[in-house]
Structure 1
């Protein structure tokens, strides 16, 4: 599947959380989202563009995890760990008594790294053509 076919397939199923997404469908769609988000960051409506592209990206991530034989909850738990890690890092950066605290920052970075690795390992797993017990019937 080429780039244009993969992007078209992702756009057709942008709001359908059922089925599977091939690796090429996901890995062409995800960088395109990143490029659009970076370019949109140059103007005031960038957060709105981010939100518009976030749902299709999460959808493609869930379908890709199903294609690899995983439950999409692993993507959600990875995102939750990243958000918790970022929150702890921000708390660690905030000065308390004039000096930023180091341990919350280290803890936050560890949680953030674990969340990113968990999501990445699910997303790079090879396709499994077997019936997936986590797959929602179409």
Structure 2
């Protein structure tokens, strides 16, 4: 059974232009992940999804606080950290592909002095076509 997903974003500049984006698609599977990352945590492992990047249709990351001192690495602890200084949305193979080929795990580092709650939504194809 497929699930219908609707994504809507509106960006407005006060006294200036605005851009609205609306996208709808169906997804076979989704995971909603809620994780508390303690202050001072380094490379806290979070399982994201079991497949390859090509299966992911949407990946959204939201935090209770944003900072240059909050980051995640994709797939292994040796990868380049990505700051969580704002909400993040990766929609479609193009933007999801920027995260690499293996998006199975995140390693979150919280160098702040307070805990944060991280929310992650992943929509994916659960039955990929074999190569």
TM-score range, shorter chain: under 0.3
Greater relative contact order, per chain length (Cα 8 Å cut-off, separation 6+)? 2
The TM-score, its normalising length taken from structure 2, stands at 0.26
The TM-score, its normalising length taken from structure 1, stands at 0.25
Larger proportion of helix: 1
Which has more radius of gyration? Answer: 1
